[in-house]
Amino acid sequence: MAVSWRSWLANEGVKHLCLLIWVSLNVLLFWKTFLLYNQGPEYHYLHQMLGLGLCLSRASASVLNLNCSLILLPMCRTLLAYLRGSQKVPSRRTRRLLDKSRTFHITCGVTICIFSGVHVAAHLVNALNFSVNYREDFVELNAARYREEVGGLFPGLTGVCMVLVLFLMITASTYAIRVSNYDIFWYTHNLFFVFYMLLMLHVSGGLLKYQTNLDTHPPGCINLNGTHFQNTHLPEHLSDHFHESFPGGFSKPDELTQNTFVKICMEEPRFQANFPQTWLWISGPLCLYCAERLYRCIRSNKPVTIISVTSHPSDVMEIRMVKENFKARPGQYIILHCPSVSALENHPFTLTMCPTETKATFGVHLKIVGDWTERFRDLLLPPSSQDSEILPFIQSRNYPKLYIDGPFGSPFEESLNYEVSLCVAGGIGVTPFASILNTLLDDWKPYKLRRLYFIWVCRDIQSFHWFADLLCVLYNKFWQENRPDYVNIQLYLSQTDGIQKIIGEKYQALNSRLFIGRPRWKLLFDEIAKCNRGKTVGVFCCGPNSISKILHKLSNRNNSYGTRFEYNKESFS
Amino acid sequence: MGQIEWAMWANEQALASGLILITGGIVATAGQFTQWYLGAYSIAAGVLVCLLEYPRGKRTKGSTMERCGQKYLTRVVKLFGPLTRNYYIRAFLHLGLAVPAGFLLATILGTACLAIASGIYLLAAIRGEQWSPIEPKPKERPQIGGTIKQPPSNPPPRPPAEARKKPSEEAAGIPTGGPQENPMPVNDEVV
């Protein structure tokens, strides 16, 4: 189908523009540094000794500088959440860029990996050349102290350690490991701090030096006292000229000016190590990230008070809690940490109910998959009472201590800022939209949203019970306010055994909106386009990748009603 | 922590180490280091490690993502039986392959990485993990007509089942059941 250029530009354009800017920055840095070491007069002798290896290693080092500093920025989640919510980033287009922060982090990581490989290979060749091209003239320039020695021990050692740390981090960060054993990824990724410390030590070695006295000793000049610094690459006519003028006498001082072929050295070349530029590059982002972690640590120090724990069908548990000074916007998520369950693990959950001005309670719905959630449920709801809904009184006093970190932003916050939004949820992915619906229930007038299409696809009909009450109350509220088309609910049961076809006797509004089978997305998009001509519709999906891909493709397509679909996606792992 | 499958991580590490060994070997032979034959060895060792580690083993719980095109190598690796299934053997094999490359500066990184991978494989072996090949699932052919046991003996409209049940002494010779009488006898032709 024809791709609508307007839709494509809105959906993908800014993202690709930023990528282009980043790539050009990298290319520019690489090229500039390469030329500096290839042709710069202060590196003339060093280049003579080391050749291409010098230029490649320094150029890749400058690219590594840039990427090591940029890679920390997308991980400052509190800062990003603040930017998302504040008026500092007014345009929705720029806010949507923040959705791609994880992808940018991964891109920088892959770049670091590749250029580290180039850097290491080039330095290996440098080490060889330091040893092979050893000359007594430039003892202080050479990293090796004598021929046949491999010089540069300290930077080399820190470099090897950094590569090993990087190796551990990268091998644990592949998609397969993240999906199957998230723990390995999380624990090894925290080694980044060791990496940065080693990086700071690595560049303080001062191995590669530049020449400081270029005016008194231009490179390639002739020393009248004996040793000459003429390199073997001087063209023929210059060496002839040298043989002619030298026996004749001394050359006059004005022959030292730049247009003469042969220059006379006034003194020996002096070398000095470069100031470690890397410290300037990485100190800013590293301090910012450390400050943010400290802030998050302090903020999450107080435990929350659990008000109620409810068990829902299909292995879902709802927890309602309060914490003072906790503010969150609908669509944000928090990270739960329960030391009684596991001292080291943290798990993110989307808020299903946000605190409002009148009510300070907030809540999460957790699906019980995996060992952490199972143990958590056993602590909160002892196995005997899991099937019944009545909790004995003594339970409320024995809740374990629970700490939360957050809230952090997510793309779903934008759904209230579009005039028309399409929200598609798959299974437990309904949680971000539940907080949106709760907010609309509270008060819908302050937001820009005027029409919400809510599609919820589940495999098991019992799952609809999680939010059936909320949906019915919301539906009734809008009916009473004479805005029946504000929320359009469609529920889909994708797999059916044919036995149970209604959600419950009291949910008549939902029963009549329940369809058996999978949604037909193309027809849905066509219908939304037709009913909202010329508007911009925000598409939000929280569910399996297959649905997400289809929606993305359909959002970029053309339609004859002039409606634009902007696709907003959250990337999980 | 108790449910981590270390073998998967060790597999990724060994694959990456193989690539590092190959790269280091290329740098050593192309740059004509003094002991370049170690570089050539490192390339060969790297290729062997990559081929052995390319097929990902099956996880004990849950589904495993296959690497692209790994089924051909899975067949080859499966042929070696216990040699490739057991992680102790793999750990010591990797350690042994890594040691000679440690004598040349260019390939020392490959040695270190492969040694780490071998350590993790040892850990996986101690915890009793094993390599099992990912088999393609045989496609189940839908049985056409498998649920049709006996076609109805009367054309519609048919009375409900209770009225169709006849007393057993009458059922013997008369093919019809119920008030409908068939002009021709109806048999069950489907097995």
Domain ranges of chain B: 6-58+66-127
Average pLDDT of chain B is: 80
**Whole-complex ipTM:** 0.76
Q: What is the pLDDT of residue A498?
A: 66
B56 and A176 within 8 Å at the Cβ level: the answer is: yes
Tell whether B171 is within 8 A of chain A (Cβ).
no
Sequence letter at residue A43: Y
Q: What percent of chain B has pLDDT over 90?
A: 21
Question: B163 to chain A nearest CA, in Å?
Answer: 27
Q: Torsion-angle region of residue A270: left (phi > 0), alpha (psi -120 to 50) or beta? A: beta
Q: Which of residues 146-165 of B touch A (CB under 8 A)?
A: none
Q: What's chain B's length in residues?
A: 191
Q: Looking at chain A, which residues constitute the CATH 3.40.50.80 domain(s)?
A: 411-497+511-572
Chain B nearest-CA residue for A186: B1
Is the Cβ pair A184, B33 closer than 8 Å?
A: no
Select from A184, A189, A344, A369 the residue whose CB has the most chain B CBs within 10 Å, as the one to mutate to test that interface: A184
> Cβ separation of B31 and A371 shorter than 8 Å?
no
Does the beta-carbon distance from A171 to B112 stay under 8 Å?
Answer: no
Res B68 pLDDT > 50 = yes
Tell which phi-psi region holds residue A519, choosing left (phi > 0), alpha (psi between -120 and 50) or beta. Answer: beta
More confident residue, B122 or A498: B122
pLDDT digits (tens, 9 = 90+) for A189-237: 989 999 999 999 888 877 777 777 777 777 777 666 655 554 444 344 4
Query: Is B123 part of the contact surface with chain A (CB cutoff 8 Å)?
Result: no
End-to-end CA distance of chain A: 30
* Token pair listed for A539: 């598409």
pLDDT of residue A491: 93
Does the beta-carbon distance from A183 to B27 stay under 8 Å? Answer: no
B13 with A167: Cβ contact below 8 A: yes
Q: Which residues of B touch A172 (CB under 8 A)?
A: 9, 12
CB contacts of B3 in chain A (<8 Å) are 371
Q: Does B94 touch chain A (CB under 8 A)?
A: no
Answer with the residue of higher pLDDT: B163 or A375.
Answer: A375
Fold (topology level) of A302-381+399-409:
Elongation Factor Tu (Ef-tu); domain 3 (2.40.30)
Contact A125 B3 (CB under 8 A): no
pLDDT digits (tens, 9 = 90+) for A95-127: 888 888 888 999 999 999 999 999 998 988 888
Q: Cis check for the bond before B55: say yes or no (omega within 30 of 0).
A: no
Q: What is the DSSP letter of B107?
A: G
| Residue in B3, B12, B20 closest to A371 by CB | B3
Name residue A539's beta-bridge partners. A422, A567
Residue A66: its pLDDT value, please? 94
Tell me the C-alpha distance between A128 and A122, whole Å: 10
Q: Is the dihedral of CA A127, A129, A134, A140 positive or negative?
A: negative
Q: What is the pLDDT of residue A124?
A: 84
Give the 3-state secondary structure percentages of chain A, helix then strand then coil, rounded to 5. Answer: 50, 15, 35
Report the pLDDT averaged over residues B180-191: 70
C-alpha A414/C-alpha A461 separation (Å) is 29
For A372, name the nearest residue in chain B, comparing CA atoms only: B1
Which residue in A has a C-alpha nearest to residue B31's C-alpha?
Answer: A125
Nearest to A121 among B17, B23, B56 (CB): B23
Number of A to B CB contacts under 8 A, please give it: 67
- CB-count exposure of residue A58 (10 Å: 0-12, 13-18, 19+): buried
Contact across the interface for B64 and A180, Cβ inside 8 Å: yes
Please give the residue of chain B at the shortest CA–CA distance from A121: B27
For residue A482, report the phi and psi dihedrals to the nearest 5 degrees. 60, 35
- In this prediction the pTM is 0.81
pLDDT in tens, chain A (573 residues): 456 677 777 778 888 899 999 999 999 999 999 998 888 888 887 888 888 888 999 999 999 999 999 999 999 999 888 888 776 666 777 788 888 888 899 999 999 999 999 999 898 888 888 777 766 666 666 666 665 566 567 788 888 899 999 999 999 998 888 888 888 888 899 899 999 999 998 888 777 777 777 777 777 776 666 555 544 443 444 444 444 444 434 444 444 444 445 667 777 777 777 788 888 999 999 999 999 999 999 998 999 999 999 999 888 999 999 998 899 999 999 999 999 988 888 889 999 999 998 889 999 999 998 888 999 998 888 766 555 555 554 455 678 899 999 899 888 988 998 999 999 999 888 999 999 999 999 989 999 999 999 999 998 888 899 999 999 999 999 999 999 899 999 999 988 776 777 777 888 888 889 998 899 999 999 999 999 998 999 999 998 889 999 999 999 888 888 888 988 877 665
pLDDT of res. A116: 94
Min Cα distance A77 → chain B (Å) is 26
The shortest CB-CB distance from A124 to any of B13, B17, B106 is to B106
A411-497+511-572 classified as CATH 3.40.50.80: yes
| C-beta separation of A216 from A207 below 8 A | no
CB neighbour burial string for A14-42, b if at least 16 within 10 angstroms, e if fewer: beeeeeeebeeebeebbeebbebbbebeb
Residue of B nearest to A175 (CA): B65
Phi, psi at A509, each rounded to 5°: -60, -35
Within an 8 Å CB–CB cutoff, is residue B115 touching chain A? no
Range(s) for CATH 2.40.30.10 in chain A?
302-381+399-409
Residue B14, min C-alpha distance to chain A (Å): 9
Q: Are A127 and B13 in contact (CB < 8 Å)?
A: no
Asked if B19 is an interface residue toward chain A (Cβ–Cβ < 8 A), one would say no
- Is A18 in contact with A107 (CB distance < 8 Å)? no
Residue A181 has its nearest CB partner, among B5, B28, B108, at: B5
**Residue B186: how many other CB atoms lie within 10 Å:** 14
pLDDT range class, residue B81, cuts 50, 70, 90: confident
Closest by Cβ to B9, choosing from A160, A163, A184 = A184
- Residue B145, pLDDT score: 61
The verdict on a CB contact (< 8 Å) between B16 and A127 is no
pLDDT of residue A240: 44
Cβ of residue B63 closer than 8 Å to a chain A Cβ: no
> Contact B31/A176, CB-based, under 8 Å?
no
